[in-house]
Amino acid sequence: MGNRLSKIVTRTGDAGTTGLGDGSRVGKDCLRIDCIGEIDELNSTVGVLLAETLPEAVRAALLRIQNDLFDLGGEICIPGSAVLGEAHVLRLEELAARLNDGLAPLKNFILPGGVRPAALAHLARAVCRRAERRVVHLANSEPVSEFARKYLNRLSDLLFILGRALNREAGLGDVLWKQER
């Protein structure tokens, strides 16, 4: 691990800039910092989900995802860096497939809701999709690892499936959208 923070209040950002992992300073409103903030918010949202009572396998997977998201934030913090790889994406795909087993095929749109852990999984999904959009936007102008984008895309799918699986485990079905006639 690089520098360890012994002092949190540094005043170095008072002028509206912040340091990247490569030592350069950028405005706090730059797209790269926005992406890091979106990933941090996603990680925090997963942390709120982890405050709920969850099956142990789900808890372990979410803790690993939190570590991946921290690594992803670090990757974005160092331009040109690539930390996440194909194995990270495949792990999400495998978990999504396992959670999806036994779920009824979707015939309707579903609403985020149900039991609190499921609703929080849907909230994390929405935050993940926003983070993905920002990272895609960054990738349109600066180099970003293809696996950063793929990871967020697969994670949003996984969180959607997790919401459905948590409702099923609680004995509820999906919360179905009903179009007003």
Would residue 10 count as lying in a domain? no
Domain of residue 137: give its range.
Answer: 24-169
Residue-wise pLDDT for 133-170, tens only, equals 999 999 999 999 999 999 999 999 999 999 999 999 99
Would residue 4 count as lying in a domain? no
Would residue 8 count as lying in a domain? no
Count of domains forming the chain: 1
**Integer Cα distance of 39 and 59 in angstroms:** 19
180: tokens are 């007003």
Q: Tokens 């099956």: give the residue.
A: 55
Over residues 75-86, the mean pLDDT reads 94
**Integer Cα distance of 47 and 161 in angstroms:** 18
Would residue 180 count as lying in a domain? no
**Integer Cα distance of 110 and 79 in angstroms:** 38
Would residue 6 count as lying in a domain? no
Over residues 38-60, the mean pLDDT reads 98
Over residues 107-116, the mean pLDDT reads 95
Q: Tokens 């170095």: give the residue.
A: 12
Would residue 17 count as lying in a domain? no
> Are the C-beta atoms of residues 147 and 82 closer than 8 Å to each other?
yes
Over residues 105-127, the mean pLDDT reads 96
**Integer Cα distance of 133 and 137 in angstroms:** 6
**Integer Cα distance of 136 and 132 in angstroms:** 6
Mean pLDDT for all residues in the chain: 92
pTM, to two decimals: 0.90
Would residue 3 count as lying in a domain? no
| φ and ψ at residue 17, rounded to 5 degrees | -120, 165
CATH number at residue 102: 1.20.1200.10
The pLDDT score that the predictor gives to residue 133 is 98
Would residue 13 count as lying in a domain? no
Residue-wise pLDDT for 1-18, tens only, equals 456 667 766 676 666 767
